[in-house]
Amino acid sequence: MCGICGWIDFDRDLGGSDARRVVSDMTATMAYRGPDDEGTWIDGPAALGHRRLAVIDLEGGRQPMALHEDGRPALVLVYGGETYNYRELRQRLVALGHRFDTSSDTEVVLHAHREWGRDDPCIAVSELNGMFAYALWDTAKRELLLVRDRLGIKPLYYYPTRHGVLFGSEPKAILANSLAERAMDADGLRRTLSFVANPDNTVFRGMREVRPGHIVRVTRDGIQQMTYWQLTDSGHTDDVPTTVRRVRELLEDTVQRQLIADVPLSTLLSGGLDSSALTAMAARFSDERIRSFAVDFVGYTENFIPGPWHPTPDGPYVHEVAKYVGTDHTDIMLSADELMDPNVRAAALHA
């Protein structure tokens, strides 16, 4: 999990000390999303910030990352998430003449946009298999692209201003800039009290989400939304054996791709079907012993009261799966007293 943010103002040079301080403050709000590193890049009307949780290429994957042409930055990227097919894309790009300085997936995304996205960024983004949210600044076109993965796994918010836009992985990054109004209207209140997500209503007045499967293009002429992917219903005609085989193939491919990392990996295990299946597959395909974690409350299992939607506690199933699969398991036990501690509450609000 990384954090990205930025500020585009086509009527201002953001290189001054006051603007730099604001960008630094915006970036600092996401320290919990990226504890390993931080960086900013500022040039004229564009300022980008990044907080990094290092997963791939710990040394070479620092951000913001730039693709240089003729000794100058041509594209500058702040990126969060992971592109699972980056190795295949890298091979294709190398065959087309691209040269890489790192082994990170971030650099692959940069070169993918340069190769396939010059005329239509949707073509470049469609090549990516992963979960991601990123911002790409084109120094020649003076154009910002805000991109979100197909299902909206990674968050990305933006706030149009008179002369550009503010953006961030979380609203608090945007609200750290005084151009963003800290106000909630009636629609925002409805959002906080409902269970239905609405990308055009982020609780705060004037703030929006980049829609899943969309690109937001920001230029001096305005803001444009572009769709690069949408879910379609093609019907299901496969028989049961074919369906089972296909689902297994998809799950195995997904798990193997997500095991690519330069740091230890783990699973969050609830004892349910989904997390148990994924944990078992991860243990099967990993070269190292998989660590698993579960979250529970002190006394919950011992004092559990069955209900129509939850007839048994999770704990016993978690331990059965961990034992059967052979994970290095840890239970994270929470207590009401600890959660009511003022310092814990303050940390939760700040995070």
Contacts of 176 (CB under 8 A, 6+ apart): 22, 25, 26, 28, 29
- Is 5 considered catalytic here? no
- Let me know: does 52 contact 34? Beta carbons within 8 Å: yes
Place of tokens 């049961």: 240
The DSSP line for 317-336 is HHHHHHHHHT-EEEEEEE-H
Which is the catalytic residue, given 2, 56, 144, 318?
2
Q: How many helices (H) and strands (E) does the chain have?
A: 11, 15
CA neighbours closer than 13 Å in the CB half-sphere of residue 88: 8
Place of tokens 């909206």: 152
Contacts of 79 (CB under 8 A, 6+ apart): 2, 4, 50, 63, 65, 106, 109, 132, 133, 134, 135
Q: Among all residues, which ones are annotated catalytic?
A: 2
